[in-house]
Structure 1
Amino acid sequence: MVSAANNFTGLILVAGGSYTEREVWIATALADHSPAQPNKKSGVLLEGLPSGQLILENSSLLSVERIAPGCFCCIGQIAMRVTFQRLLRLRLAHLYIAINDAQHLSSLKSIFSQAQYAQLVKCENEIIL
């Protein structure tokens, strides 16, 4: 029997640092998750656009979405919600959301605790670089 907890997508919020630092942190965390869940797909939603080499790329086990710079909870809310909902349809094991400004973490957490999301995601960690 599958428990309801197994249906949640584990949400990891990453904030601060540079775009590259956030992407490297997520790549390292994904490598750490792989042995425990070898066939589970993860997702990444990044605020901003890379300035150089892509560290994270789409694969059969990873879905990567990048949204132009702009606060997810303020001016970028519609783009963030649409992309977030698209990623949730994939029934991911983990979803990493990386934002530029740590001051907006509480607003993001408030959005994800709303009834429509609370049944789908469980905030597992909050990382400030």
Structure 2
Amino acid sequence: MTLPSPVTVTLVTGPSAGVREQAVFAQLQLSNLHHDSAKSGVILEGLAPGNSPLDTLPAHVLRARIAPGCLCCTGNLVLRVTLNRMLRQRPEHLFIVVARSEHLDQLRSWLQAEPYDQLLRLTPDLKASS
């Protein structure tokens, strides 16, 4: 049995939720995923910043918001469940927006370990700035 093509994953960091979400929005517009029928997804850690540009995205952009917490420690199970649900919908590109980047290396290692090593292709991180 042939595995599906790996999903491109970009970890997004930045000083605030608004800045991070604006950076993802800009990337979606640049890559034409905002107007295209290609599926993309965003997993957001933390509370919404109020008026998020991601609220205006079309339905083919999958979105999930998870409670804030270290995604490689206390939030690991929640992230794993959310990621698995999103992967079942086979997005071409997935952004994982993290609220804090202290354990980014551990999160990256976790995403590169089994079973995700066959399912994901990590890109360089997107470091959003204001």
CA distance in 2, matches of 1:116, 1:123: 14
Q: Is the 8 A contact 2:44 2:65 kept in 1?
A: yes
Which stretch of structure 1 is more off in the superposition, 80-89 or 49-58?
49-58
> Is residue 28 of structure 1 aligned with residue 9 of structure 2?
no
Q: Is the 8 A contact 1:44 1:64 kept in 2?
A: yes
Q: Scaled by the length of structure 2, what TM-score is found?
A: 0.87
Secondary structure of 1:31 counterpart: helix
CA distance in 1, matches of 2:118, 2:106: 18
1:35-85: CA deviation from partner (whole Å, max 9, x where unpaired): 6x9221000001101131132136332011111111111111111110011
Secondary structure of 2:54 counterpart: coil
Alignment correspondent of 1:14: 12
Q: Scaled by the length of structure 1, what TM-score is found?
A: 0.88
Alignment correspondent of 1:55: 53
1:86-121: CA deviation from partner (whole Å, max 9, x where unpaired): 111111110000112222211111111112001111
Secondary structure of 1:125 counterpart: coil
Secondary structure of 1:87 counterpart: helix
Backbone CA RMSD of aligned residues: 2.0
- What residue ranges of structure 2 are gaps of 5+ in the alignment? none
> Is residue 128 of structure 1 aligned with residue 114 of structure 2?
no
CA distance in 1, matches of 2:103, 2:68: 14
What is the total number of aligned residue pairs between the two structures? 125
Of all paired residues, the percent bearing the same amino acid is: 34
Residue 27 of structure 1 deviates from its aligned partner by 0.3
> Is residue 38 of structure 1 aligned with residue 36 of structure 2?
yes
- What residue ranges of structure 1 are gaps of 5+ in the alignment? none
> Is residue 77 of structure 1 aligned with residue 76 of structure 2?
yes
